[in-house]
Amino acid sequence: MQVKIIGTGSFIPTVVKKNESFEEHLFLNDDGTPIPSSNIEIIEKFKAITGISERRYAESNRTASDLGVLTAELAIKDAGIDQETIDYIIVAHNFGDVKINTLQSDILPCLAARIKQKIGIKNPKTVAYDLLFGCPGWIEGMIQGNAFIKAGIAKTCLVIGAETLSRVVDKHDRDSMIFSDGAGAAIIQSTNNSGGILAHESASYTFDEAFYLYYGSSSNQSISSDTKFIKMDGRKIYEFALKHVPSAMKACLDKSGYGIEDVNKILIHQANEKMDEAIVKRFYKLYGVAMPLGIMPMSIAKLGNSSVATVPTLLDLIRAGKIKDHEINEGDIVLFASVGAGMHINAIVYQF
């Protein structure tokens, strides 16, 4: 028995926030002092490093669970299944539902329960739960769904990644320009066909690294320290990712039984264009070969970093023919990989 993706969906919010919209922001250092560079210089340097020119924010009347509903419905339609037959709904996120102009997270009930209710699934045996695993949450949800199916306790799982990071960023922090909103989903199901999830790898580095991403006070010290925002140590995350992610990807590929020459695409978490490219180059270097052209499709330039939503969104866009010069065909070997808060790393080798 294998576990295969039978449907995907993604929802990309319609609110476009271009880099130029940050030109009037007051960017501050962590200690509250003004950054000596002009905003234009800050933005140009930011784009050179991250590759981001614009990002998407959720419409004011929508929360993360609303985005999850929209992408779940698309995935169910794409799979052509009866939604009442879904055994598990696994929803990866990090901040719950955060309404516009508030910073309070709402996760009672959990987002998975909300999504199930809004979709209209009546079956009480459709188990719905949330997964908090940083940016690698959607991939980890796929790994858990795979385990449920192979253990014989489920046949069909809906795995969603949904986030509205624009609601929890500190507008005085340069890193706020990285984050965006979105949702993506996949439905996996048991099958007697070949392919599917061939191998997976997960790791949690928490001894020294747990708080590289954290909830902290604003760079603007006039804002109450009781109000928290997403914060990160970008340099440490970059160094961590380059050190650990390539080896995790290699361990996963080696377990699959396939070689580096068999990999057709690498769908990596859209965190930072420069960092992602460096990770994949180091991965290929572990095999003593150069990174081939066209192996790593990217969406970050236009969509930004929507955390748990980046990988499933990228997959769905490729399947829909919306990523230029990239496609996935039957039999292709695709390596999924992610890194994020925790610090967590994971990877999946999948054959379509």
**What are the domain boundaries of the chain?**
2-192, 198-351
Same fold for the pair 2-192 and 198-351 = yes
State if pTM tops 0.85. Answer: yes
CA nearest to 280, candidates 248, 304, 311, 255: 248
Mean of the per-residue pLDDT values of the chain: 95
| Angle at alpha carbon of residue 217, lines to 212 and 218, rounded to 5° | 110
Q: Is the dihedral of CA 28, 30, 33, 36 positive or negative?
A: negative
Assess whether pLDDT exceeds 80 at residue 103: no
Q: Is domain 198-351 classified as CATH 3.40.50.1370? A: no
Strand partners, 179: 305
| Distance separating alpha carbons of residues 58 and 171, to the nearest angstrom | 16
CA atoms within 13 A on the CB side of 212: 23
The stretch 229-247 carries a mean pLDDT of 95
Residue 111 reports pLDDT greater than 80: yes
Asked whether the predicted pLDDT for residue 74 surpasses 80, the reply is: yes
Assign 1 a pLDDT band (cuts: 50, 70, 90): confident
Our CA angle for 68, 302, 352, nearest 5°, is 60
Average pLDDT over residues 45-63: 95
Which CATH number does the domain 2-192 belong to among 3.40.47.10, 3.40.50.970, 3.40.30.120, 3.40.50.2300? 3.40.47.10
Banded model confidence at residue 88, pLDDT cuts 50, 70, 90: very high
Task: Give 156-192 pLDDT, tens digit per residue.
Answer: 999 999 999 999 999 999 999 999 999 999 999 999 8
Beta pairing partners, 3: 190
Which residues are bridge partners to 183 per DSSP?
Answer: 11, 162
Q: What is the DSSP string of 34-68?
A: BPSS-HHHHHHHHHHHH--SEEEE--TT--HHHHH
For residue 152, pLDDT over 80 is answered with yes
**pLDDT score for 200:** 98
pLDDT value at residue 94: 96
What's residue 12's pLDDT?
A: 96
Q: Which residues contact 236 (CB under 8 A, 6 or more apart)?
A: 209, 212
Distances (CA, A) of 297 to 38, 181, 222, 314, 339: 32, 19, 42, 8, 17
pLDDT over 90, % of the chain: 88
Residue with token string 């967590």: 344
Residue 250 pLDDT class (50, 70, 90 cuts): very high
Task: Show the tokens assigned to 168.
Answer: 């929890």
Instruction: Name residue 245's beta-bridge partners.
Output: none
At 193 the pLDDT is 85
Q: What is the mean pLDDT of residues 85-97?
A: 97
Please enumerate in sequence order all residues whose Cβ is within 8 A of that of 201, keeping only pairs 6 or more positions apart, or say none. Answer: 248, 249, 251, 252, 255, 345, 346, 347
Per-residue pLDDT, averaged over 261-280, amounts to 96
Question: Other C-beta atoms within 10 Å of 235: how many?
Answer: 9
| Average pLDDT of the residues in 312-318 | 98
- Helix ranges (DSSP H) in the chain: 39-50, 64-79, 111-119, 137-150, 234-256, 273-285, 300-303, 310-319
Position 221 scores a pLDDT of 87
Burial class (CB in 10 A: 0-12, 13-18, 19+), 329: exposed
Whole-number Cα distances in Å, 131 to 37, 47, 54, 89, 90: 40, 31, 28, 10, 7
Whether residue 272 is predicted with pLDDT greater than 80 in this model: the reply is: yes
Tokens of 162: 């949904």
- How far from 237 is each of 111, 161, 245, CA to CA, in Å? 28, 21, 11
Distance in angstroms (rounded) separating the CA atoms of residues 50 and 42 = 12
pLDDT tens column, 194-236: 899 999 999 999 999 999 999 998 888 888 888 889 999 999 9
| Residue range 14-38: mean pLDDT, rounded | 91
Integer angstrom CA distances of residue 198 from 143, 184, 348 = 11, 22, 8
In the three-class reduction of DSSP (H, G, I as helix; E, B as strand; rest coil), residue 100 is classed as coil
